[in-house]
Structure 1
Amino acid sequence: MKRLTILGATGSIGTQTLEVIRREQENFELVAVSANNNSNKIIDIINEFAPLYAVLTEKKAYEEVRKYCLDNNLKCKILFGMEGLNTIASLQEVDIVVTSVVGMIGLVPTLKAIQAGKDIALANKETLVVGGELVISEAKKHNIKILPVDSEHGAIFQCLQGNKKSAVSKILLTASGGPFRGKRKEDLLEVTVDEALKHPRWNMGKKISIDSATLMNKGLEVIEAHWLFDVKYDDIQVLVHPQSIIHSMVEYRDGSIIAQLGSTDMKLPIQYALNYPNREQAVADRLNFYDMENLTFEKPDMDTFTALRLSYEAGKVGGTMPAILNAANEAAVELFLGKRIKFLEIGNILEECMNKFEVQQSYVLEDLLEIDSKVKKYVKDRF
């Protein structure tokens, strides 16, 4: 029986994690959950799973859930804000923390969980993008496992099992191409928010959907793969694979390539991470090779989708440059969703911030938090 905390329980990954728990009640106990402001979903989770703790990071939602639990004499303790996230990430009775919050907010509670000796089921890309050196160093120090939850890194993790790292030649990171695959810059001048949110394969939250449309999501995954698997950036190759059947591959020095295939369902990598090193009965639909369409691969267009090119550049510069890139992207995506900038301006903002802000090659957590705040303020003040 593994005891879990889910940071971000009401989002796409959190909801699907709950489905896995629901199907494997003999394997998991849900101890704590968090959400930003979705009080109704948190109340539903409390009623179904009876966690001991719940955190809300928006004040009104916190008050609503707290009142509901008091009125109904429920034992769930309701906590607030970042302090609450840090508390449930480091609870003594928890074995594994699922970090599925979106954005920079996931970094500090993930570090707190690692320092408390908790294994991490990682679905928050920004944690390693922004603070990869810190996070990996702490994970090694405390001897904890970082188990990737997203489909691509979960695939790579599976393809590496039973092989020596020294035998790895290259990571082949697949990308769907997003809703604008094959488009040129002139085609994207007047893209609407609704168009950018229509992902052809995956059902995801708004921020990650926009990141997928710009290919920033793949850029974040390149930086994340560098830290997770200790592979040089030149040895991480992105392949646009619109069918999203091969979730990623590993090429070995003898030329062999091992791929992980599966249905387009996030419950598969979630289940593998939570049960690692064991495999349980399928929670996702099985592939039918007779019904499968052709599998195709394309080179990504980094001239049109500049976020991917800039992610490689930021990763190679290292230090705090990925933190600058990530903060600029979070702020730019928020502006685009608010219809205050155009789609192609996202990439322009990333490049502007990378050129403007000074890079520190050595840093501590406080430096990352300060950089994040400064970059976001700069972008928001510009528009």
Structure 2
Amino acid sequence: MSHKERDAGVLMPSNETSAAAPRRITILGATGSVGRSTVDVVRAHPESFVVEAVVGGRDAAALADLAIALDARFAAVADEAAGPALKDALAGSGIACGAGESAVLEAAEREADVVLAAISGAAGLAPTVAAMKPGRTIALANKECLVSAGVAFMAHAARMGVTLRAVDSEHNALEQALRAGRREDAIALTLTASGGPFRTWERARLERASVNEALAHPTWSMGAKISIDSATLMNKGLELIEAHHLFGMPADRLEVLVHPQSIVHGLVHWRDGSITAGLGAPDMRIPIVNALSLGDARLDLDLKRLDFAALGGFTFEPADRERFRCLALAEAAMAAGGGAPTVLNAANEIAVAAFCAGRIGFFGIAEAVERTLDAMSATTLPAPASVADALTLDAQTRARTEEILQDPKAPRDRRILQDRAPRPI
């Protein structure tokens, strides 16, 4: 059924139950890796979803192709310069479009039952907040919303009465595993990490690691930013902070284990000594289809069942915080609370971009983040009281990190990690 027919009132008679009606969905970040996996899920279930809007970054041609394939009603590209190309590509389709920040916010605010929030980085914060409307479900794939503005974000979600569903594989696994008991009986959570492409590399070799080597993740197919974060283990640190807010678990009750097979995604530890694990193949469509499922019913996903006999076995090992200092920095920022996670995230985004541009080496990412945390006195900053406050601190941090990158030999004060070493739970 086309969007023109839906506009004419053909979508579903009003006396149909909400469980039977297809959900109207908006996909923020449709051209990214998570967005494209979401598109696969939506196209596999045309009876369950109709697409209201799709949002992309700057690739107008790719976004137009998706909008047409999904019969979306609206398409928005974040880069204003790509607006004319998007308009030309959609000419004659009947799909409305726009470009720039206002168009992205318009897409987020359009009528929808569920919004998949997958715009990468702090850039996804404002659109995700704009998408929060009473009764909506926000399928959250943007961890930076909770890292940069966790307290304010969760408070706003509660005020608006939205349902948050986790899309990250680890948090979705924990979300499912937590259904095995009462939330108050869960005493600790474990998130697993694949270890990334450099899990077995010696420090001397890591110093010479190239961008292409960092992008070559052994298990997951992801965008550049998250791939670099996985190589430094910063991604796992950000996910710890995300879990802290999503599940209300104290920082000292969260831990990371390296699990190279990427089959066990999360563990819930119960007060009686039981452990519930969330398992699944390393395929983002699994957490996505779970997050988008209607009510308690699970949607089909055409995947080959895991062959545990063929897998042979699982291994687990502690994370090395000496070689992968970004994880230790994230844990320290989580323990410090306040504005420290906001500073951590903003500094990391600038440092990763500098690494990708060849301005700094692999270890320079952690160095830049740590120096920024110290320079901003991050451990004493209050938590942003609003999304606007978070974005202000984010902008200030980015500017400070750039200054640090331009003055690599400036004196530094390594205070951020003092007395904040992680302890086993």
Which TM-score applies when normalising by structure 2?
Answer: 0.87
Give the drift of 1:32.
Answer: 0.2
> Which of these residues, 177, 184, 197, is aligned with residue 166 of structure 1?
184
> Which of these residues, 281, 300, 319, is aligned with residue 263 of structure 1?
281
- Is 1:9 aligned with 2:30? yes
Give the drift of 1:362.
Answer: 5.0
- Is 1:346 aligned with 2:365? yes
SS class of match (1:74):
coil
Most deviating of 103-112 and 369-378: 369-378
> Which of these residues, 58, 66, 70, is aligned with residue 45 of structure 1?
66
Give the drift of 1:282.
Answer: 2.4
SS class of match (2:255):
strand
Q: Show the counterpart of 1:77.
A: 96
Give the drift of 1:56.
Answer: 0.5
Task: For 1:209 and 1:293, locate their aligned partners in 2 and report how far apart those are by CA, in whole Å.
Answer: 27
Task: For 1:223 and 1:283, locate their aligned partners in 2 and report how far apart those are by CA, in whole Å.
Answer: 32
> Which of these residues, 396, 415, 418, is aligned with residue 374 of structure 1?
396
Q: Show the counterpart of 1:65.
A: 86
Most deviating of 180-189 and 288-297: 180-189
SS class of match (1:111):
helix
Task: For 1:187 and 1:144, locate their aligned partners in 2 and report how far apart those are by CA, in whole Å.
Answer: 47
Q: Show the counterpart of 1:118.
A: 136
**Matched-pair contact (CA < 8 Å) for 1:20–1:283:** no
- Is 1:303 aligned with 2:322? yes
Q: Show the counterpart of 2:422.
A: none
Aligned residue identity for 2:199: R
Give the drift of 1:376.
Answer: 1.2
Q: Show the counterpart of 2:145.
A: 127
The within-5 A match list for 1:148-187 is 148-187=166-205
CA pair 209-95 structure 1, distance change in 2 beyond 3 A: same
SS class of match (1:114):
coil
**Matched-pair contact (CA < 8 Å) for 2:166–2:172:** yes
Aligned residue identity for 1:357: M
CA pair 362-337 structure 1, distance change in 2 beyond 3 A: closer
Give the drift of 1:186.
Answer: 2.5
Give the drift of 1:262.
Answer: 1.2
The within-5 A match list for 1:227-266 is 227-266=245-284
Task: For 1:364 and 1:143, locate their aligned partners in 2 and report how far apart those are by CA, in whole Å.
Answer: 17
Identity score, percent = 39
CA pair 89-255 structure 1, distance change in 2 beyond 3 A: same
Give the drift of 1:87.
Answer: 1.3
**Matched-pair contact (CA < 8 Å) for 1:155–1:248:** yes
Q: Deviations over 1:33-65 (max 9, x none)?
A: 011111121121122112111111112322101
SS class of match (1:285):
coil
Task: For 1:249 and 1:298, locate their aligned partners in 2 and report how far apart those are by CA, in whole Å.
Answer: 14
SS class of match (2:24):
strand
**Matched-pair contact (CA < 8 Å) for 1:262–1:286:** no
SS class of match (1:121):
strand
Unaligned runs of 5+ in 1: none
Task: For 1:285 and 1:205, locate their aligned partners in 2 and report how far apart those are by CA, in whole Å.
Answer: 24
Task: For 1:176 and 1:271, locate their aligned partners in 2 and report how far apart those are by CA, in whole Å.
Answer: 22
Give the drift of 1:162.
Answer: 4.3
Unaligned runs of 5+ in 2: 1-21, 407-425
SS class of match (2:308):
coil
Task: For 1:85 and 1:9, locate their aligned partners in 2 and report how far apart those are by CA, in whole Å.
Answer: 12
CA pair 178-84 structure 1, distance change in 2 beyond 3 A: same
CA pair 116-63 structure 1, distance change in 2 beyond 3 A: farther
CA pair 322-203 structure 1, distance change in 2 beyond 3 A: same
**Matched-pair contact (CA < 8 Å) for 2:170–2:266:** yes
Q: Show the counterpart of 1:195.
A: 213
Task: For 2:388 and 2:154, locate their aligned partners in 1 and report how far apart those are by CA, in whole Å.
Answer: 17
Task: For 1:89 and 1:118, locate their aligned partners in 2 and report how far apart those are by CA, in whole Å.
Answer: 12
Task: For 1:198 and 1:134, locate their aligned partners in 2 and report how far apart those are by CA, in whole Å.
Answer: 35
**Matched-pair contact (CA < 8 Å) for 2:244–2:250:** yes
Give the drift of 1:116.
Answer: 5.3
Q: Show the counterpart of 1:32.
A: 53
Q: Deviations over 1:212-253 (max 9, x none)?
A: 000000000000000000001111110100000111111111
Aligned residue identity for 2:348: N
